[in-house]
């Protein structure tokens, strides 16, 4: 697969394992996630049954702040924002409504937002975080894993720590220590440590 440096799979049934490798490649390609992942290991054991995916995510872009997509003019407690890039406008407006209330946020045209802030509220406004791309990527990644896994595996556990993620799913509830041990073993297979 283009984009992923290291991609392996293991399965007690060779044919089934090959099919799952193909399914994983197709789903990740369809969802444009191949460039996000650097290492991936897919493990399916239908006898338990257990489905484990462990992987490493490439370095992601940082948190988007106000100054990344807008310039501002401050006049007393009124801030006029000129939006340079509309991509983050929707989460930005939601953020402003939550923080200052809808009555204090005006949008006279597509590229302008006028804001009334409390006394001293304009200080450090440019540095406010608006959007964290890592959240979306992790959510997309977990959705992809749900599409890849065999259907009916309703008991799931997933996590994302320091650029590494894992996804475990089964039809049955499994002891916590068994899952943890298995995940550590799979990480070892791609040369990583949890």
Partner 1 sequence: MILEPITYKGGLYRHEEMVELIEDLGGYIIQLQQIAGDIIILALVPKEDLDLVRAIAKPINGEVKVSPLVGTEIAVVSMSLEIHHLPHATCDVAEYLRQFGAKTNVIGLARGFGKRIAQLNVEERDVINEHDCAILLYGNFEECIRHKNPKISRGITVPIIATGAPDKEALMKCIDPPVEGYVGGLGRLAHRAKRPEELAKLEEMVAEVSRVLDLRRTEIYKDPLSVAPPRLMDLIIEKVEAIHEVTSPTPVTVQMAGLRVKLPYEVYADTLRNLELEQGVRLGDIADVTPSRMRTYIWVQVRPFSETKVMV
Tokens 């995510």, residue? Answer: 57
Element (H, E) at 179: helix 176-189
Q: Rounded to whole angstroms, how far apart are CA atoms 179 and 18?
A: 23
CB of 151 to partner 1, least distance (A): 4
Of the pair 28, 113, the CB lying nearest partner 1 is at 28
What b/e string do you get for 165-176 counting C-beta neighbours within 10 Å, with b at 16 or more?
bbbbbbeeebee
Of the pair 79, 149, the CB lying nearest partner 1 is at 149
Of the pair 46, 133, the CB lying nearest partner 1 is at 46
Q: Rounded to whole angstroms, how far apart are CA atoms 25 and 1?
A: 7
CB of 14 to partner 1, least distance (A): 10
Of the pair 27, 72, the CB lying nearest partner 1 is at 27
CB of 155 to partner 1, least distance (A): 11
CB of 29 to partner 1, least distance (A): 9
Tell me which residues touch partner 1 (CB under 8 A): 12-13, 15-16, 19-20, 22-23, 26-27, 30, 44, 46-47, 49, 147-148, 150-153, 171-172
Q: Rounded to whole angstroms, how far apart are CA atoms 37 and 192?
A: 14
């Amino acid at each position: 697969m283009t984009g992923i440096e290291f991609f392996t799979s293991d399965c007690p049934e060779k044919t089934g394992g090959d099919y799952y490798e193909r399914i994983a490649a197709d789903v990740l390609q369809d969802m444009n996630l191949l460039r996000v992942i650097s290492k991936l290991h897919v493990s399916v054991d239908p006898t338990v049954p257990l489905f484990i995916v462990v992987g490493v995510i490439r370095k992601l872009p940082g948190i988007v702040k106000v100054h990344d997509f807008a310039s501002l003019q401050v006049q007393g407690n009124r801030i006029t924002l000129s939006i340079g890039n509309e991509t983050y406008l929707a989460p930005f407006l939601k953020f402003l409504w939550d923080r200052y209330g809808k009555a204090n946020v005006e949008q006279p045209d597509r590229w302008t937002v006028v804001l009334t802030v409390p006394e001293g509220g304009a200080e450090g406004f440019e540095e406010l975080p608006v959007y964290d791309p890592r959240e979306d990527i992790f959510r997309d990644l977990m959705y992809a894993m749900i599409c890849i896994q065999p259907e009916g595996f309703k008991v799931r556990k997933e996590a994302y720590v320091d650029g590494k993620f894992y996804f475990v799913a089964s039809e049955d509830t499994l002891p916590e220590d068994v899952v943890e041990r298995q995940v550590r073993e799979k990480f070892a297979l791609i040369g990583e440590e949890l």
